[in-house]
Structure 1
Amino acid sequence: MNIIELTIPKLGESVSEVTLSKWLKQVGDTIQLDETIAEVSTDKVDSEVPSTHAGIIKELKFEEGDTIAIGDVFAVIEISNSDVTNPIKEEVVVDNSNTEINKKETSTKIDQFLSPLVKRIIKEENLNLDEVLKIKGSGYNGRISKNDVLNFINNTSEQTSNDNPVISSASLNGNSEIIEMDKMRLLIAKHMKNSKKTSPHVTAYVEPDVTNLVKWREANKDKFEAKYNQKLTFTPILVDCVVRAIKDFPLINVSVDETETKIIKHNDINIGIATALPNNNLIVPVIKNANTLNLEGLAKGVNTIVDKARNNKLSPDDITGGTFTISNVGVFGNLMGTPIINQPEVAILATGVIKKKPAVLETEYGDIVVVRQFMYLSLSFDHRVVDGSLGGVFLKRISDYMENWDINQSI
């Protein structure tokens, strides 16, 4: 038998200790991998603590109400020897004399070594026992993780697609043409499909009056280019407003870990700019540490990565590490869009075309109708971790920064 010590996991950058709120298991109880053993609380959040192994609880080292430091051992469990050496595969014994009974017993034994999250994914994807046995576990001692299951599903889908190409339900005739997707389009399709499967998408909209912003850019773009040797498009101005809003609401600049039980808060603000390529594909190069750049730095960053993207000169580092993405659908003349989140981020902003519209303004002499410049902003966000209130106020804050752009600021 083997003894495993469970420690209090890190729950945030500034959290050094927790209070034990409630034990959900007692000494002698059996616990599964990823099953919650206790509830703890901090001055910021209440959390569940999952077990990192399956086994029998031998010792609980604290009482409810005690304070425990991050990293301290709080419980001890005992695992069997079979748990140490690839437990799932060793439990599988082929017995052709009674296939139905053997499969039932094997399924029960495998089920004991799967976390609740993995079981849920297997059930949702309708994987049978034979398929589960084909999954190679990358976790502790060969355990099957969430990513192992998702990778198996994706690989199986690709293999099926290659072996049995899907044909549209529309009949093919002499006027139809089959176009093979190139490698980039296949990757985009897979990424978008996985994003919709991973994140419950919600989209919110605002329509800021950007008249002052448009006037300021028009009056200063030539001066800006002469001084900094950089074109001043609307994109770096928008990025500046987004970065300021993220600083106000940092929980937009997060991602969800693979267990879907922890939120990873990013201190660096790395802005991805969705860029259309000449071959009609899409790529998202990233402006790193946008929170440290002024308007000149943002303009240089935007111009550099867009130019590199369109000339196929991006490096791997240029397209990784993004924490928030902006997609400009207005460049195609579109009013608005409902963008798909760029995983593992939790939000993406789409910007529509800027258009002149009549607007009612209040004056000391009464309401008047004038021509103003408006654009739609649409924010898609991951409802697992971003509620409507956070998504709504964040989007409105971007709008406020755009509407209140200082028309008198100098270059």
Structure 2
Amino acid sequence: MTVKEFKLPDVGEGVAEGELVSWLVAPGDRVAEDQPVAEVETDKALVEVPSSYDGTVEELFVEEGEMVPVGDVIISFRVDEDGDDAGTEVEAEPEPASTDESASEPATEAADAEPDTPSGRTFAPPSARRLARELGVDVAAVDGSGPGGRVSEADVRAHAEGADGSASSDGADDGPEPRPSPTPTDVGSGDRKSAVSKRGANGPAGSSTATAAGGPEPAGRETTLATPATRKVARERDVDIDDVPTDETRDGEAFVTADAVNAYADALESAAASTATETTPEPEPTDVDAGAEPAATDAASADATASGDETVPYRGVRRTIGKQMERSKFTAPHVTHHDTAEVDALVEARADLKPTAAERDVKLTYMPFVMKAIVAGLKQHPYLNSELREDEEEIVVKKEYNLGIAVATDAGLMVPVVDNVDEKGLFELADEVNDLAARARERKLKPAEMQGGTFSITNFGAIGGEYATPIINYPETAILGLGAIEERPVVRERDGASEVVPAPTLPLSLSIDHRVVDGAVAAEFANTVMERLENPLLLLNE
């Protein structure tokens, strides 16, 4: 039996780290090669990480919510035979055979034993290893009480307490001095203090008083499961996570969410405030110098903490979007050109084609028509389909027409790319756009499907709105924003007279990199696009 360690693979071009969002397996699970074992969110997409082995999950080295650099070990497997070199083999060298005639046990017994490793690696979850580091305990020296000798947090604490007791009785000082064991108010929270004391101790924030005044009773657990983000909330709210009441469990252990932490902290503060109001006398008035600056206090920060604001990690796709927008806005001087197309004929053309599209199981939207109109504009005004390479001091005019379509998702705006738009028909474009948008919302896009764009489209009108100032998807040179198609008043010539009538119109917002594209060229491009949208039969040539 061999133990294989599996490292986080390169899950996309240029990706250096990822957040382990969720484990899809647990220790003891049997997995097959290529079976997904974890979901990892990179700064480009949410991807599933497949196993490289057929075997049994031995140990998980990373907790959900942790950021993991590419190449770090995240999981280990027990395999029956040598696998490929994607992991690191940690099988121990066999001990020399004994020459003692009494040591004649069958060889099968040794084969069935748990494999040792040169590093003396012990089976323990990440939370137990972290606690061992905090307490200065060598986890390999801890006797595990779990299945197969698995070490729990309780085992680590018991070992730490036993080490303290033996040190005081034996006076041994030849080993490294362990860190102090946690006090009752420290358990489960490192060097943080809880807002409620355990075992009747007087903790901070008037917790004993708060409990006596009707506040929530602390749970007083020894072990609590929570994501790193939730533990951060507990630190910010000055709450011991082991005290937070919860009915949720994972793997038989109590599991606490950020909402539960905030609710518990709010209840404590409410009870403490009520008690303070009843017992605190009015302060004596003091003289205040009218010209003096107000004394600095922690009231503002305390109010912010007490407000229950949610803290959300700024990473993954959201961080990538932010960096990309910052880079684009501060690199390319943006200019936005606004115009409005009268699209009576486009609305009629789509209505005429929808039944045929439905027969082919295609949902036909206005987007394919717009894409074809944009390609017509790019062919006539190619500098909007270009990239400025500043280091080389050159403008690369692209010969491919790969249009990125911005899609709003729970994680932020994602821009899948439709390649070679000029070579595809309306129905084919509609089907591809619908597929990419659906997979973008489900976070199932591959990184390659969001690369290689030469021009982008953002359809904010689908949510509501007319005009905007879209930010260019740098290093592209332009982006077109679409407003909502609605009936608006327009001026039409009829029988030699002008009259105002309602008509369907499409507002357009074209942002350009003014280093590459002049305002006049932008207006000409918009005119070409509007001409095709107002006369959709012209798209037959595209």
Measured in 2, the distance between the counterparts of 1:237 and 1:191 equals 28
Alignment partner of 1:217 is 2:350: yes
Whichever residue aligns with residue 217 of structure 1, its letter is R
Counterpart of 1:289?
Answer: 420
SS at match of 1:255: strand
Deviation string, structure 1 residues 188-219 (Cα, Å, up to 9, x no partner)? 10110011111000000101101111122123
Counterpart of 2:145?
Answer: none
Alignment partner of 1:262 is 2:398: no
Whether the aligned pair in 1 keeps the contact of 2:532 and 2:539 (CA below 8 Å) is: no
Query: Equivalent residues in 2 for 1:130-279 (5 A)?
Result: 172-175=304-307, 176-226=309-359, 228-259=360-391, 261-277=393-409, 279=410
Measured in 2, the distance between the counterparts of 1:212 and 1:174 equals 57
Whether the aligned pair in 2 keeps the contact of 1:213 and 1:407 (CA below 8 Å) is: no
CA change 1:276–1:334 in 2 (3 A) is same
Measured in 2, the distance between the counterparts of 1:347 and 1:186 equals 22
Counterpart of 1:383?
Answer: 514
Measured in 2, the distance between the counterparts of 1:407 and 1:380 equals 25
**4+ residue segments displaced more than 4 Å:** none
Whether the aligned pair in 1 keeps the contact of 2:317 and 2:411 (CA below 8 Å) is: no
Measured in 1, the distance between the counterparts of 2:499 and 2:523 equals 29
Whichever residue aligns with residue 343 of structure 1, its letter is Y
Measured in 2, the distance between the counterparts of 1:382 and 1:242 equals 17
Deviation string, structure 1 residues 245-270 (Cα, Å, up to 9, x no partner)? 11111121100114161001110010
Alignment partner of 1:336 is 2:437: no
> How far apart are 1:305 and its partner, in Å?
1.2
Whether the aligned pair in 1 keeps the contact of 2:405 and 2:416 (CA below 8 Å) is: yes
Alignment partner of 1:309 is 2:440: yes
Measured in 2, the distance between the counterparts of 1:407 and 1:326 equals 21
Unaligned ranges ≥5, structure 2: 1-299
Deviation string, structure 1 residues 333-387 (Cα, Å, up to 9, x no partner)? 1111111000110000000011112222112352233220112100100011111
Counterpart of 1:56?
Answer: none
Measured in 1, the distance between the counterparts of 2:499 and 2:520 equals 33
Query: Equivalent residues in 2 for 1:87-106 (5 A)?
Result: none
Whether the aligned pair in 1 keeps the contact of 2:482 and 2:509 (CA below 8 Å) is: yes
Whichever residue aligns with residue 435 of structure 2, its letter is T
Counterpart of 1:106?
Answer: none
Counterpart of 2:500?
Answer: 369
> How far apart are 1:237 and its partner, in Å?
1.2
Whether the aligned pair in 2 keeps the contact of 1:212 and 1:407 (CA below 8 Å) is: no
Whether the aligned pair in 2 keeps the contact of 1:205 and 1:377 (CA below 8 Å) is: yes
Measured in 1, the distance between the counterparts of 2:479 and 2:376 equals 15
Whether the aligned pair in 1 keeps the contact of 2:485 and 2:506 (CA below 8 Å) is: yes
> How far apart are 1:284 and its partner, in Å?
0.4
Counterpart of 2:245?
Answer: none
SS at match of 2:330: helix
Measured in 2, the distance between the counterparts of 1:367 and 1:255 equals 44
CA change 1:407–1:289 in 2 (3 A) is closer
Measured in 2, the distance between the counterparts of 1:317 and 1:356 equals 39
CA change 1:262–1:199 in 2 (3 A) is same
Whichever residue aligns with residue 204 of structure 1, its letter is H
Whichever residue aligns with residue 436 of structure 2, its letter is I
Whichever residue aligns with residue 247 of structure 1, its letter is K
Whichever residue aligns with residue 378 of structure 1, its letter is S
Whether the aligned pair in 2 keeps the contact of 1:354 and 1:373 (CA below 8 Å) is: yes
Q: What is the percent sequence identity of the aligned residues? A: 36
Whichever residue aligns with residue 495 of structure 2, its letter is E
Measured in 1, the distance between the counterparts of 2:516 and 2:500 equals 41
Counterpart of 1:348?
Answer: 479
SS at match of 1:369: strand
SS at match of 2:306: coil
Larger radius of gyration between Structure 1 and Structure 2: 2
Whether the aligned pair in 2 keeps the contact of 1:356 and 1:371 (CA below 8 Å) is: yes
Q: 351-360 or 338-347, which moves further after superposition?
A: 351-360
Counterpart of 1:155?
Answer: none
Counterpart of 2:537?
Answer: 406
> How far apart are 1:302 and its partner, in Å?
1.0
Measured in 2, the distance between the counterparts of 1:320 and 1:326 equals 14
Whichever residue aligns with residue 216 of structure 1, its letter is A
Whichever residue aligns with residue 201 of structure 1, its letter is H
Deviation string, structure 1 residues 122-147 (Cα, Å, up to 9, x no partner)? xxxxxxxxxxxxxxxxxxxxxxxxxx
Deviation string, structure 1 residues 133-186 (Cα, Å, up to 9, x no partner)? xxxxxxxxxxxxxxxxxxxxxxxxxxxxxxxxxxxx997252233322241111
RMSD value over aligned CA atoms? Answer: 2.2
- Larger RCO: 1 or 2 (CA < 8 Å, sep 6+): 1
TM-score, structure 2 as length reference? 0.42
Whether the aligned pair in 2 keeps the contact of 1:271 and 1:286 (CA below 8 Å) is: yes
Q: 306-315 or 322-331, which moves further after superposition?
A: 306-315
Q: 258-267 or 383-392, which moves further after superposition?
A: 258-267
> How far apart are 1:303 and its partner, in Å?
1.5
Whether the aligned pair in 2 keeps the contact of 1:184 and 1:281 (CA below 8 Å) is: yes
> How far apart are 1:221 and its partner, in Å?
1.0
> How far apart are 1:220 and its partner, in Å?
2.3
> How far apart are 1:297 and its partner, in Å?
2.1
CA change 1:201–1:396 in 2 (3 A) is same
Measured in 2, the distance between the counterparts of 1:377 and 1:402 equals 11
Query: Equivalent residues in 2 for 1:110-121 (5 A)?
Result: none
